[in-house]
Amino acid sequence: MSFPDVLLYILTPTTQTTQTTTMTLKVGDLAPDFTLVTKSADGPQLVKLGELVGKSNIVLLFVPMAFTGVCTTEFCEISAGLKDYEALDAKVLGISGDNPFAQAAWAEKEGITIPLLSDYEHAVAKAYGVAYEQFLPEANLIMGGVAKRSAFVIDRGGIIRYAEVQEHPKDLPDFEAVKACLRAL
């Protein structure tokens, strides 16, 4: 199931233009299915959310970019505490718009052990409503589609049970709240 875009009509006295925006998913929504690429020791592999649903709870962590300070810290800390999530019957997946080869190099350099999924075309970030229109224009980083730092907990039925989206890329999700949600499932 894909999440529909919402069309906003902006009216001016002489013209009408259409702008597409995406709404952030919320608790109780069905998680949009996706297929993304990860780089494993055997080469590129496809990861399909629909094939994971039902096997365990899932934690999706969106980050803006590989090889950046806050993203590296976040995924290194999650990797170090991965057993906590596994004990809560959760599979943790990291998602960024970087290509899978860059993600693999980042993971190897930094010791990141969670699976990293490449949302190279930003389709999943848009489907989950977490894509920036412009990443950090005040720093001249005007790339559109970059994922906002976000956390989603998806239960075995494919329903979103926790959703947190940070507007500023330096702000981390509340991982204690993520774990509390997992404990309650």
Q: Which pLDDT does position 23 carry in this prediction?
A: 59
Share of the chain above pLDDT 70, in %: 88
Identify the active-site residue in 31, 36, 66, 71: 71
Q: Which pLDDT does position 69 carry in this prediction?
A: 94
Other beta carbons less than 10 A from residue 61's beta carbon? 25
Kindly give the parts of the chain with pLDDT less than 70.
1-23
What letter would DSSP give residue 141? B
Q: Which pLDDT does position 141 carry in this prediction?
A: 80
Q: Which two tokens stand for residue 132?
A: 């920036």
How confident is the model over 39-80, as pLDDT tens digits? 999 999 999 999 999 999 999 999 999 999 999 999 999 999
Active site residue 71: yes
What structural domains does the chain harbor? 24-184 (3.40.30.10)
